[in-house]
């Protein structure tokens, strides 16, 4: 695979001129080796670590990463829950623009009465990993997917608990994603203990290693509490956010949360050690972030900052601008265009975000971030939000119903059970009762700088009339731009995605021709990705982009898949000597 001659290291230096004043090195005529990109992704993560001002528990590996990198305190997910947020990251599009914002589109059908469906972006949309593969990158995902659609086989070279950059070709650059689940909401459930499966991060690259209890349910695949590593004393007194009850139960959940964060940090260290052992630290852009805000009640699934704001650290080769802070707003929809920008490629026209680093970094910083909340499991709400640097505007399309949704999964958290118990007993204070109001205002406006927990609604305050008008207009503009109709019922959304058909659309079988001793593959489904293998034992599917040669007396395995459609079956083609 040939790589473009763009000097990626020069691109990085150029991309950081907003942070530092330095003379940009002149590009030489030699071909620069492309940089690797490593994403370290944890789950359900608010800014609860020392680099972002919370000194509750030590995170030596993340702290080192921050000291050697740049911290981004104003990163926001597009939703307060994982799957829609991952859809935004994977495509560079807002989930509510292509049917990805209802949490669990393939389940809870008995409750919703809807068929199983997947989000369907426009035909030109590809997963960002596929776009990087097309540029010669070896792309691995270890190993969570959960995008609200099934990834085509062309999306990754590897996507499994064994996926690792170590399996790439010689001198091939990589884009690797490593997911950590220790900080997930379920880590607060009883019985408490770490999942043994997480040792995969210490065994990456060893396909013969067998994990204890692999494939078992979360409850069965755990260490006992006695076996659980303790990173912070259990008698630590934690600061409790005002929307939770400060008692023994909540304190215990906060101990679990911070202890989980410390365990996650330990595993981040294991991956970074592998990178250093391979001699790749100074040729890799490392990016750590969470998939949305925190795991506690009134955090996850909500579009207050507690559900959207997550920390991000980016370490550049040679520790460029180490220890600095980037205060501009960043959204998850910005990740895909930024990845392309970092490898010297212009972001795709369909992407709704903007690059915040690289050769195509936006000249105009973000003025706003946007977010949406719709169905969570079996319960539907319709909320949209826009946030400026200091203010948040929320529009509630179902003001007749309360904020709190009795999501069964969340109610496994002891602190949530405690809130419900004390609510029934009439023992919650006015702040704690806000979440349980029977209805909600049509509009909310919060001064996030002076009211970080978003408790004091200023929408009816004449002093903030201009700010309310500004954010209203911005929301209207955003909804129109991305073609988001919040009033569209989910059943009608499915009809729209399926073009008024009653069944999920199906990718048409690819057609194969042989011209001038080359294989030509086409597919009549607009936007379908075509994958093929000339070696049936190969781990990865190659991306078909142009006719290719193949030796006689061989087989080709072919598969086509448009995102959101049913993929074709594997099609085997025999090549025989004429």
Cα torsion at 92, 201, 151, 4 (round to 10°)? 60
Whether residue 445 contacts residue 458, with contact meaning beta carbons closer than 8 Å, is answered with yes
pLDDT tens digits, residue range 147-190? 999 999 999 999 998 899 999 999 999 999 999 999 999 999 98
Q: Where in the chain is the domain with CATH 3.40.720.10?
A: 38-95+130-364
Peptide bond into 570 cis (omega under 30): no
Q: Is the pLDDT of residue 15 over 70?
A: no
Q: Is the pLDDT of residue 78 over 70?
A: yes
Token duo for residue 103 = 């949490």
Q: What is the average pLDDT across 384-394? A: 98
Token duo for residue 138 = 């070896």
Binning pLDDT at 50, 70 and 90, where does residue 196 land? low
Q: Is the pLDDT of residue 535 over 90?
A: no
Among 131, 249, 139, 267, CA closest to 198: 267
Q: What is the average pLDDT across 527-537? A: 94
Cα torsion at 459, 462, 466, 468 (round to 10°)? 10
Place of tokens 């597009």: 78
Whether residue 161 contacts residue 173, with contact meaning beta carbons closer than 8 Å, is answered with no
Say which range, 144-153, 253-262, 414-423, 550-559, has the weakest mean pLDDT. Answer: 550-559
Binning pLDDT at 50, 70 and 90, where does residue 4 land? very low
Q: For position 553, what pLDDT does the model report? A: 65
Which of 3.90.180.10, 2.40.100.10, 2.60.40.10, 3.40.50.1370 would CATH assign to domain 511-575?
2.60.40.10
Name residues whose C-beta falls within 8 Å of residue 94's C-beta, 6 or more positions apart in sequence: 78, 88, 333, 352, 370, 372, 482, 484
- Per cent of the chain over pLDDT 70 is 89
* Residue 14 falls in the annotated catalytic set: no
Q: Is the pLDDT of residue 507 over 90?
A: yes
Q: How far apart are CA 245 and CA 226, in angstroms?
A: 27
Among 550, 509, 529, 421, CA closest to 121: 529
Among 542, 95, 138, 122, CA closest to 308: 95
CATH of the domain spanning 38-95+130-364:
3.40.720.10
Whether residue 176 contacts residue 164, with contact meaning beta carbons closer than 8 Å, is answered with yes
Q: For position 552, what pLDDT does the model report? A: 67
Binning pLDDT at 50, 70 and 90, where does residue 194 land? low
Name residues whose C-beta falls within 8 Å of residue 460's C-beta, 6 or more positions apart in sequence: none
Catalytic residue among 14, 22, 82, 139: 82
Specify the pTM: 0.94
Q: How far apart are CA 543 and CA 558, in angstroms?
A: 10
Q: What is the average pLDDT across 235-251? A: 97
Give, as one character, the DSSP assignment of residue 412.
G
- Per cent of the chain over pLDDT 90 is 83
Q: For position 7, what pLDDT does the model report? A: 43
Place of tokens 């990087």: 132
pLDDT tens digits, residue range 323-371? 999 999 999 999 999 999 999 999 999 999 999 999 999 999 999 999 9
Q: For position 17, what pLDDT does the model report? A: 44
CB count in 10 Å sphere of residue 262: 22
Place of tokens 């008008």: 469
Among 388, 387, 334, CA closest to 361: 334
Q: Where in the chain is the domain with CATH 2.60.40.10?
A: 511-575
Phi/psi at 289 (5° precision): -160, 165
> Helix 248-277 and helix 60-67: axis angle, to 10°?
60
Which of 3.60.21, 3.30.1120, 1.10.620, 3.30.70 would CATH assign to domain 371-485?
3.30.1120
The better pLDDT of the pair 275, 193 is held by: 275
Place of tokens 């981040």: 268
Q: For position 2, what pLDDT does the model report? A: 33
Task: List Cα–Cα distances, 229 to 256, 352, 361, 411, in angstroms.
Answer: 11, 42, 42, 25
Binning pLDDT at 50, 70 and 90, where does residue 404 land? very high
């Amino acid at each position: 695979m040939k790589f473009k001659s763009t000097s990626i290291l020069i691109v990085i230096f150029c991309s950081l001129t907003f942070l530092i004043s330095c003379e940009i090195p002149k590009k030489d005529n030699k071909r620069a080796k492309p940089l690797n990109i490593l994403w370290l992704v944890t789950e359900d993560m608010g800014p609860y670590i020392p680099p972002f001002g919370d000194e509750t528990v030590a995170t030596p590996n993340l702290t080192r990463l921050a000291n050697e990198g740049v911290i981004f305190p104003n990163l926001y997910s597009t939703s307060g829950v994982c799957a829609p947020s991952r859809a935004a990251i994977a495509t560079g599009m807002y989930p509510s623009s292509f049917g990805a914002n209802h949490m669990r589109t393939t389940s809870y059908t008995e409750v919703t009465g809807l068929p199983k469906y997947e989000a369907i972006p426009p035909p030109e949309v590809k997963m960002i990993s596929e776009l990087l593969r097309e540029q010669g990158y070896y792309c691995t995902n270890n190993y969570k997917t959960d995008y609200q659609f099934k990834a085509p086989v062309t999306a990754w070279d590897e996507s499994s608990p064994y996926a690792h950059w170590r399996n790439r070709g010689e001198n091939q650059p990589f884009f690797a994603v490593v997911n950590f689940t220790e900080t997930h909401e379920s880590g607060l459930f009883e019985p408490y203990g770490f999942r043994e499966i997480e040792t995969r991060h210490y065994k990456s690259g060893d396909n013969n290693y067998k994990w204890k209890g692999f494939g078992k349910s979360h409850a069965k695949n755990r260490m006992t509490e006695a076996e659980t590593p303790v990173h912070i004393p259990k008698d630590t007194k934690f600061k409790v956010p005002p929307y939770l009850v400060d008692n023994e139960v909540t304190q215990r959940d906060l101990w679990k949360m911070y202890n989980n964060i410390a365990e996650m940090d330990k595993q981040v260290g294991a991956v970074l050690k592998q990178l250093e052992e391979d001699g790749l630290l100074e040729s890799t852009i490392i990016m750590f972030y969470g998939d949305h805000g925190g795991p506690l009640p009134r955090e996850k699934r909500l579009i207050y900052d507690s559900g959207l704001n997550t920390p991000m650290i980016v370490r550049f080769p040679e520790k460029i601008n180490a220890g600095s802070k980037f205060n501009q707003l960043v959204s998850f929809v910005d990740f895909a265009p930024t990845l392309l920008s970092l490898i010297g490629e212009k972001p795709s026209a369909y992407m709704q975000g903007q690059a915040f680093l690289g050769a195509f970094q936006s000249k105009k910083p973000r003025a706003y971030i946007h977010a949406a909340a719709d169905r969570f499991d079996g319960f539907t709400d319709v909320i949209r939000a826009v946030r400026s640097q200091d203010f948040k505007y929320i529009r509630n399309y179902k003001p007749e119903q309360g904020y709190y949704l009795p999501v069964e999964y969340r109610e496994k958290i002891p602190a949530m059970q405690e809130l419900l118990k004390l609510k029934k007993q009439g023992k919650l204070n006015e702040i704690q009762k806000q979440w349980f109001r029977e209805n909600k205002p049509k509009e909310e406006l919060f001064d996030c700088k002076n009211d970080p927990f978003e408790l004091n609604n200023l929408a009816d305050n004449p002093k903030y009339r201009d700010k309310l008008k500004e954010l209203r207009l911005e929301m209207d503009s955003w909804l129109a731009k991305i073609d988001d109709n919040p009033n569209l019922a989910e059943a009608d959304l499915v009809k729209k995605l399926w073009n008024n058909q009653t069944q999920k659309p199906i990718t048409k079988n690819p057609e194969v021709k042989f011209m001038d001793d080359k294989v030509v593959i086409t597919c009549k489904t607009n936007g379908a990705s075509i994958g093929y293998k000339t070696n049936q034992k190969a781990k990865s599917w190659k991306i078909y982009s142009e006719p290719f040669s193949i030796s006689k007396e061989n087989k080709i395995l072919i598969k086509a898949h448009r995102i959101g459609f049913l993929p074709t079956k594997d099609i085997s083609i025999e090549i025989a000597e004429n």
